[in-house]
């Protein structure tokens, strides 16, 4: 059996999609050591991997300082990723070289550098839409390639990578050095999915039981459940939560709302009896009972909602989520709304409409079939096994 070093960055949306893969690798007898920030200790330990905490340079940043990965914010994101990589590579390089490196492809650049240094194959996990010559996230957010700030950032990045013996800067940033890129969504959800051939393995969501979270059951069986969550990173929308809570009074719905750790739920005022508010909820447990999911359309939440065949009302907060949101609407899996012009009427009209739409239910059943066919963690582990068996 192989020794595998796994690396996760600061971000639940990048760690959670790897957990099922790691659990399956451990089940097959591989020795997996997973380095990630301490906040992910419980969920990683549940996989059976050996957890080693790392200190992310992002941990000291306020929530408002977290960058988006597209558009103008991409320049700052590259700077921050470069700083994170410089800080972590010397620490992680002290470990015994593994047989294979498994790491997040979007953020954990250090995995690419260490795999090259050790001369071992790297497998990247991509928990988001991927880009090629047929479709690119640049459709949703562009940067000026002649921007002096952008050019300076690329210069600094290139200088560091050349110090590591890497000369193909563009190829490095796109993950072209990976032996395999595992995309944790089904090919049917990817824009221009059929054009992604060599190097991409679409396996769909790789979920675990998440025993580290509590369970959840509805208070009343006669009320349909609406789950409302804007994720863990860009959820500071108190006016939105107040609107939903206040306008839920007297409706048929039981509303379960996750508001994040920045908002004191008491600031929402008296809650109607059909509304419960939490900083976080055991999302998979709630989705098992949900009739509708009002979501920020982060890819992790999107895949979880689709896995449980829950109609989606998408409320994107940033560029990547807008791409996901448009794909949800395009594929007939729910509706997409503009959160900046949202009213209680448009919100509840969308919730009621997707809940009762038989065409959406049929499309959700189709997408669940695509997810099942993709194979999930089993397919990912099979692909890794084939890679490890190569001479």
Q: Distance between alpha carbon 110 and the CA centroid of its chain, in Å?
A: 19
pLDDT score of 62: 61
Tell me what pLDDT residue 217 has. 87
Going by their DSSP bridges, the two strands 254-258 and 225-229 should be labelled as: parallel
Q: Domain 225-371 is classified in which CATH homologous superfamily?
A: Glycogen Phosphorylase B; (3.40.50.2000)
Q: What b/e readout covers 314-326, taking b as 16+ CB neighbours within 10 angstroms?
A: bbbbbbbbbbbbb
The CATH class of 3-204+375-388 is alpha beta
Q: Is the pLDDT of residue 20 over 70?
A: yes
Query: Rounded distance, CA 308 to CA 287, Å?
Result: 7
Burial of 94 (0-12, 13-18, 19+ CB in 10 A): exposed
User: Measuring CA to CA, which residue among 182, 222, 218 is closest to residue 200?
Assistant: 182
Find the DSSP H helices in the chain: 12-27, 41-45, 72-92, 109-118, 148-163, 169-174, 238-247, 283-287, 299-307, 319-330, 344-355, 358-374, 376-388
Cβ–Cβ < 8 Å for 214, 285? yes
CB 111 within 8 A of CB 103: yes
Q: Quickly state the pLDDT bin for 382 (edges 50, 70, 90).
A: very high
- Per-residue pLDDT, 262: 67
**Residues of CATH 3.40.50.2000 domain(s) within the chain?**
3-204+375-388, 225-371
Q: pLDDT by residue (tens digit) across 272-321? A: 999 999 988 999 999 999 999 999 999 999 999 999 999 999 999 888 99
Average the pLDDT over 370-386 and give the result: 97
Q: How confident is the model at residue 173 (pLDDT cuts 50, 70, 90)?
A: confident
Residues 4-29, mean pLDDT to the nearest whole number: 95
Q: What's the rounded Cα separation, in Å, for the pair 76 and 86?
A: 15
Nearest partner of 181 among 166, 159, 198, 160, judged by Cα: 198
Q: Is the dihedral of CA 173, 231, 316, 194 positive or negative?
A: positive
Q: What single DSSP character describes residue 215? A: P
Is residue 294 within 8 Å of 347, Cβ to Cβ? yes
pLDDT, position 75: 76
Confidence at residue 149, expressed as pLDDT on a 0 to 100 scale: 76
Is the pLDDT at 181 greater than 60? The verdict is: yes
**Model confidence at 208, in pLDDT bands (50, 70, 90)?**
confident
Q: Are 148 and 85 in contact (CB under 8 A)?
A: no
Task: Give the pLDDT confidence score for residue 246 in this predicted structure.
Answer: 93
d(C-alpha 295, C-alpha 316), whole Å: 8
- In contact, 9 and 104? CB cutoff 8 Å: yes
- Dist. CA 18–CA 7, nearest whole Å: 10
69 has pLDDT over 70: no
The residue among 49 and 79 whose pLDDT is bigger is 49
The pLDDT assigned to 227 comes to 98
Q: What is the pLDDT of residue 235?
A: 61
Is the pLDDT assigned to residue 254 strictly greater than 90? yes
Instruction: Compute the distance between CA of residue 360 and CA of residue 312 in angstroms, rounded to an integer.
Output: 9
Run of H or E including 310: none
List the one residue out of 206, 178, 186 whose CA is nearest residue 21: 206
For the chain, percent of residues with pLDDT exceeding 90: 70
Identify the weakest region by mean pLDDT among 41-50, 235-244, 295-304, 381-390: 235-244
Residue 220 confidence (pLDDT): 80
pLDDT score for 108: 95
Residue among 135, 81, 73 at smallest CA distance from 113: 81
pLDDT of residue 177: 87
Sorting pLDDT into bands at 50, 70 and 90, what band is 347?
A: very high
Helix axes 72-92, 148-163, angle to 10 degrees: 20
Question: Would you say how long the chain is, in residues?
Answer: 391
Out of 97-101, 165-169, 208-212, 265-269, the most confident range is: 97-101
Average pLDDT estimate for 212-225: 83
Interval 83-137: pLDDT, tens: 999 999 999 999 999 999 999 999 999 999 999 999 999 999 999 999 998 999 8
């Amino acid at each position: 059996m192989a020794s595998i070093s796994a690396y996760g960055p600061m971000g639940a949306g990048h760690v959670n999609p790897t957990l099922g893969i790691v659990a399956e690798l451990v089940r097959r007898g591989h020795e997996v050591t997973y380095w990630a920030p301490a906040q992910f200790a419980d969920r990683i330990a549940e996989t059976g991997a050996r957890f080693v905490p790392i200190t992310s340079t992002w941990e000291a940043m306020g929530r408002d300082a977290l960058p988006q990965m597209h558009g103008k914010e991409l320049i700052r994101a590259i700077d921050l990723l470069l700083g994170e990589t410089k800080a972590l590579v010397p620490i992680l390089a002290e470990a015994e070289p593994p047989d294979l490196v498994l790491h997040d492809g979007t953020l954990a650049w250090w995995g690419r550098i260490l795999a090259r240094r050790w001369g071992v194959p790297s497998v990247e996990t991509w928990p988001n839409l991927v880009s090629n010559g047929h479709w690119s996230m640049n459709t949703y957010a562009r940067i000026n390639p002649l921007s002096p700030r952008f050019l300076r950032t690329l210069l600094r990045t290139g200088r560091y990578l050349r110090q590591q013996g890497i000369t193909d800067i563009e190829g490095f940033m796109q993950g072209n050095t990976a032996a395999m890129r595992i995309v944790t969504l089904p090919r049917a959800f990817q824009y221009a999915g059929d054009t992604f051939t060599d190097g991409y393995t679409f396996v769909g969501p790789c979920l675990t039981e998440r025993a580290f979270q509590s369970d959840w059951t509805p208070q009343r069986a006669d009320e349909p459940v609406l789950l409302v969550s804007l994720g863990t990173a860009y959820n500071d929308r108190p006016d939105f939560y107040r609107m939903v809570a206040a306008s839920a009074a007297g409706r048929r719905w039981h509303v379960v709302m996750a508001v994040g750790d920045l908002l004191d739920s008491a600031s929402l005022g008296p809650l109607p009896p059909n509304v419960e508010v939490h900083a976080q909820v055991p999302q998979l447990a709630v989705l098992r009972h949900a009739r509708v999911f009002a979501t920020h359309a982060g890819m992790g939440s999107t895949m979880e909602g689709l896995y449980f065949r829950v109609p989606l009302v998408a409320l994107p907060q940033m560029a990547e989520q807008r791409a996901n949101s448009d794909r949800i609407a395009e594929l007939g899996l729910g509706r997409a709304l503009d959160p900046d012009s949202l009213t209680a009427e448009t919100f509840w009209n969308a919730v009621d409409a997707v809940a009762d739409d038989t065409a959406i239910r049929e499309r959700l059943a189709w997408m669940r079939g695509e997810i099942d066919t993709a194979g999930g963690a089993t397919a990912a582990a099979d692909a890794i096994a084939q890679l490890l068996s190569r001479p």
